[in-house]
Amino acid sequence: MTHENKFGMFIHWGLYAQTGLQDQAIVRYEMDRGEYEALRGVFDPVDYDPEKWVLLAKAAGMKYICFTTKHHDGFCMWDTKYTDYNIMHTPYGRDVLKMLADACQKHGMLLSLYYSNPDWHHEYGYNPASTHQWRAVQTDHPDTVKYREYIRNQVTELLTNYGPIYTFFWDIPPKIEDPSLNELVRRLQPGIYINNRGWDAGDFSTPEREYKAAEGQRFARMTEACNSLGEQSWGYREREDFYTKRHLCCSIDRIMAMGGSYLLNVGPDEKGTVRREYADRLRAVGDWYVRMEGCLECAEADDYPYEVKKNPCIATKKNGKTYLHFYDGIRSSAVAIKNYPSVPKHVRLMNTGAALPCAAERLPEFFNGKTGVAETVYLHIWNIPADALCDEPIVLEIEW
C-alpha cells in the first residue's frame, strides 16, 4: 500500500442511520436497547442503489470502497446464517452487501470489508481486555473463545460469498493475540491486505481523524488513514458539522504524499441515499483530487534536499517528474526554492493545468543582513493564483 496507495470511500451504514444521530447512537444518546434493536423491524432502505454509490466514488477518483459489514451494535449487513440480527430479517430483506459487491465488480471498483470486533448484541461479545464495550449485552460471563468461533464463521461467509476482497478492516483492537484469524482471512482471500486493529499486527496501520505524523517523512509501514465528511459521526447524522473542503483536501494531500492511502467516509441515510449535503462535499473534494491526475498514487519520495522557503512542502516523484505538495496551501502567489537541482524545463500547476513562469534569480526579500545585498540565487516560481485556490492544497509538477 505504500507504493500502491489509493483514495477510497468508507461507508458507515446500518440500523443507526434511522436515528439520524450517530453511528454509536445507542451509547451516545443512552437509547433503550429494546427501542434501538426494534429498528430492525422498520429498516427498509427502498432507495438503496449501490451503483449510484460506486459511480459517485469513481467520479471522485476513488479506487475502492470499504463497507461496514457489522458495526459495534452487532447488526449484520449481509445474509449471515449465524444470527437473525441481520439485514435479511428486516422489511427490506435483501443482501445489501451482495448488491454492492455486484456493483463494484460491474464498474471495476475494488471492495474492502469492515468488521467490528466489539459486538453489543452477541451473547459472548464482551471483551474485558478491549475498549468500546459500553453496551455489551452481558458482562458477567465473557467467553472470547466462543465469540471468536462466531467471528470465524462470519468472516468465512464474508470472504467466500462476495468475490475478490481488497482489504479487511478489523475495528477496535481486541488486545488478544490470535494469529489464526488473520491466517483464515489470507487463506480465503490470498493477496488481501489486513489492517492492524485485529488479532495480530496485520499488514498496514490505520490512523484516523486528525492524525499528525512527522511532517514530510514517509510512513515506515503501509498506512491507510481515514476520516469522515462529518465531524460528529461516521454514520448519517441529520444535522452534521461538516469539515471544510480545504481541511479534507489538505489532509488527503499530506497523507498520500507521505505514501499512505486515504479513506474518506460518507454516511448514507435510512433509505440508502447519500444525501445531497454529503454528495456535494464529496464531489468538491473529488474535483480537486481528479485534477491531480494520479500524481498522489504510487509516487515515490523525492529525496533531493530541496529547501523550500516559508511554505511546508512534501516532494514526491513519479514518471520522471517531481511533485511539490504544498499541503497547507501557500502564503503568496509565488514559491522560492533555495536548493534545487537545475532550472526546470517546465513547471505546471496541477490545480489548473496552467504552465507557470520560473527563473533562477536573486530575490530582494532574501538578503544578507550584514551587507543588505540579495546574494543568493533562488528558483522563483510565480503567477500562482493562490487566492483563487485558497480552499485546496497547491501541487506543482516540475520537469527538470
Task: State what percent of residues in the chain have pLDDT above 90.
Answer: 96
Residue 216: the pLDDT is: 65
Query: Is the pLDDT confidence value at 48 over 60?
Result: yes
Q: Which strand (E) or helix (H) includes residue 26?
A: helix 25-28
Residue 316: the pLDDT is: 97
Give the DSSP letter string of 242-286: BPPHHHHHHHHHHHHHTT-EEEEEE---TTS---HHHHHHHHHHH
Instruction: Go through the domains of the chain in sequence order and give each one's CATH number.
Output: 7-291 (3.20.20.80), 300-399 (2.60.40.1180)
Distance CA 19, CA 141 (A): 31
Residue 213: the pLDDT is: 60
Query: Is the pLDDT confidence value at 1 over 70?
Result: no
- Mean pLDDT value across the chain: 96
Q: Which strand (E) or helix (H) includes residue 287?
A: helix 276-291
Contact 57, 65 (CB under 8 A): yes
Nearest in space to 356 (alpha carbons), one of 333, 326, 377: 333
Angle between helices 276-291 and 245-257 (to 10 degrees): 40
Residue 107: the pLDDT is: 98
- The whole-model pTM stands at 0.97
CB atoms within 10 A of CB 277: 12
pLDDT per residue as tens digits for the range 86-124: 999 999 999 999 999 999 999 999 999 999 999 999 999
Across 11-34, average pLDDT: 98
Out of 182-186, 207-211, 289-293, 341-345, pick the least confident.
Answer: 207-211
Please report where in the chains the cell 513519479 appears, as a residue. Answer: 318
Cα angle: 148, vertex 152, 158; to 5 degrees: 135
Distance CA 36, CA 379 (A): 62
pLDDT per residue as tens digits for the range 260-288: 999 999 999 999 999 999 999 999 999 99
Across 53-63, average pLDDT: 98
Q: Which residues contact 236 (CB under 8 A, 6 or more apart)?
A: 13, 16, 17, 20, 267, 268, 269, 270, 275, 278
Residue 119: the pLDDT is: 98
Distance CA 246, CA 240 (A): 17
Task: State what percent of residues in the chain have pLDDT above 70.
Answer: 98
pLDDT per residue as tens digits for the range 170-224: 999 999 999 999 999 999 999 999 999 999 999 999 999 877 665 667 898 999 9
Across 339-347, average pLDDT: 97
